[in-house]
């Protein structure tokens, strides 16, 4: 498949292979772009900004709405590509494709409501006889660096608001999952997005991603990925805006008064969706001591009933780890915890390079990697607690803060948790793995900077522009 550069579909002699992590078969190849290619893309985006910044709102809305319609027509193709190149089963991929269409629709509506307000200049004597207002103006070129776990919807979360705000955008998709982003480029070209406003450049992040981040012509970087990569980006960013979603090791608390069936079903899904390769993954499950044994037994039984296999088989519950190196990293993390005294309740088995079973661990030593870092795999650690205060203390005792959750039927308990959990979002009677695309999304501490969610990303991708008339 070719990459989308300066309004053209181009190839390169150097190629990257895209493989299926289920059977390691070749899905397709894409160009290995160079720093020169990225320089061309940035120059094209800079030129196209003269067009994008003047596109009327109704035209931006038309483009995004028609893109959503065309995505709907290609829904099955998008879902299959998501499953083949990524980690999701076909059922999960279909849901992602549906969500991405909704995200594109929300972006179109956000363009309708992008505006400002009047300013009361006469609140000071010097402001008498003056009238003014502000609007929101596009900031310029936005560099979008996206992850492998949501290769369509998280791309739309960057492209949609960028176009809605009148910007140009260069997408550098994850090197393991570039095909879905390229398909999205096809859709936007087909609906009449002017050349250069969107470009999708494939290659290694260490080469073209670094060029995108450092170039002063790029006015904002929107990045979703790991903490180490986020720190490296910040060190090379220069003077530009940045939005980062960097993951977490999300805690879910279950109180003794919770609806246990609701809690179990939500947590099982939250623990093993996309094989745990999800920033909202239920990594730490905090169970009140009075329900610890029965709940953990049911949780283990549900995990052991999970069906693993081909991602294209609709009966498959969970797919594979994106690469062998990632599967080994997860395996080593669990083995390290067990070596330090943790007890493996189920799972912990890797086969065929990238297949890793749903895994549940208890008695995890405080401070080990599984306890403090993001596992990014189908592994959940269990923690007993006696009081809500103790549960909140355990939940907060990490350097992440994306999403937390609590299951309870007591409103006072829910409000206390919502107030005291140091997280960007708190779910009540939902697992941490819950998101709609219109809500603000982002965390505290090492979980990132700024907010995603269409209307909130749109605020990040535009700036207030003040106009003042002296009427004297």
Whether 291 and 259 have beta carbons less than 8 Å apart is answered as no
Helices 179-190 & 57-73, crossing angle to 10 degrees?
A: 120
Sheet order of strands, 284-288 included: 343-346, 359-362, 379-385, 284-288, 251-254, 403-407, 425-428
Which sequence positions are flagged as catalytic? 245, 279
Report the distance separating Cα 169 and Cα 181, nearest Å.
13
Partnered with residue 168 across adjacent β-strands are 141
List the one residue out of 29, 33, 5, 9 whose CA is nearest residue 18: 29
- Quick check: helix, strand or coil at residue 217? coil
Q: Which residues does 244 contact at the CB level (< 8 Å), separation at least 6?
A: 222, 223, 224, 230, 233, 448, 449, 450
**Strands 350-351 and 343-346, sheet pairing:** unpaired
- Whole-angstrom Cα Rg for the chain: 23
Helices 57-73 & 153-164, crossing angle to 10 degrees?
A: 160
Partnered with residue 3 across adjacent β-strands are 10
């Amino acid at each position: 498949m070719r990459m989308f550069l300066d309004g053209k579909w181009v190839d390169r002699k150097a190629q990257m292979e895209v493989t299926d992590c289920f059977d390691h078969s070749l899905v397709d190849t894409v160009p290995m772009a160079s720093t020169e290619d990225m320089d061309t893309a940035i120059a094209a985006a800079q030129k196209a900004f003269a067009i994008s910044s003047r596109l009327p709102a109704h035209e931006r809305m038309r483009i995004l709405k028609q893109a959503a319609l065309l995505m709907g027509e290609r829904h099955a193709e998008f879902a299959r590509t998501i499953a083949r190149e990524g980690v999701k089963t076909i059922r999960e991929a279909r849901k992602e494709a549906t969500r991405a269409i909704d995200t594109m629709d929300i972006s179109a509506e956000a363009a309708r409501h992008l505006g400002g307000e009047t300013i009361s200049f006469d609140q000071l004597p010097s402001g008498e006889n003056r009238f003014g207002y502000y609007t929101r103006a596009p900031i310029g070129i936005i560099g979008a660096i996206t992850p492998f776990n949501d290769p369509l919807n998280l791309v739309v979360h960057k492209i949609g608001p960028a176009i809605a705000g009148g910007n140009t955008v260069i997408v550098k998709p994850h090197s393991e999952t570039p095909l879905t982003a390229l398909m999205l480029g096809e859709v936007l070209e087909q609906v009449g997005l002017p050349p250069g406003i969107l470009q999708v450049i494939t290659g290694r992040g260490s080469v073209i991603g670094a060029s995108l981040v450092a170039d002063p012509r790029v006015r904002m970087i929107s990045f979703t990925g790991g903490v180490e990569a986020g720190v490296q980006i910040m060190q090379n960013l220069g003077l530009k805006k940045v939005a980062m979603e960097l993951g977490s090791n999300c805690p879910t608390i279950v109180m003794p008064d919770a609806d246990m069936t609701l809690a179990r079903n939500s947590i099982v899904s939250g623990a093993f969706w996309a094989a745990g390769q999800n920033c909202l993954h239920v990594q730490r499950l905090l169970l009140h001591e009075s329900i610890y044994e029965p709940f953990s037994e049911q949780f283990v039984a549900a995990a052991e009933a999970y069906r693993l296999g081909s991602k294209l088989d609709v009966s498959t519950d969970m797919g594979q780890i994106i690469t062998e190196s990632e599967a080994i990293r997860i395996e080593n993390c669990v083995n390290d915890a067990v070596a330090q005294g943790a007890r493996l309740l189920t799972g912990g088995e890797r086969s065929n390079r990238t297949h890793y079973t749903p895994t549940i661990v208890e008695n995890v030593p405080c401070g080990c990697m599984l306890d403090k870092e993001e596992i990014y795999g189908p592994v959940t650690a269990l923690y007993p607690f006696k009081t809500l205060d103790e549960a909140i203390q355990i939940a907060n005792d990490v350097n992440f803060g994306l999403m937390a959750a609590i299951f309870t039927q007591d409103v006072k308990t829910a409000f206390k948790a919502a107030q005291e959990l140091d997280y960007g979002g708190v779910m009540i009677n939902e697992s941490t793995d819950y998101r709609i695309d219109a809500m603000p999304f982002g965390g505290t501490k090492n979980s990132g900077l700024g907010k995603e969610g269409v209307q909130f990303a749109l605020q990040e991708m535009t700036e207030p522009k003040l106009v003042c008339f002296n009427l004297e």
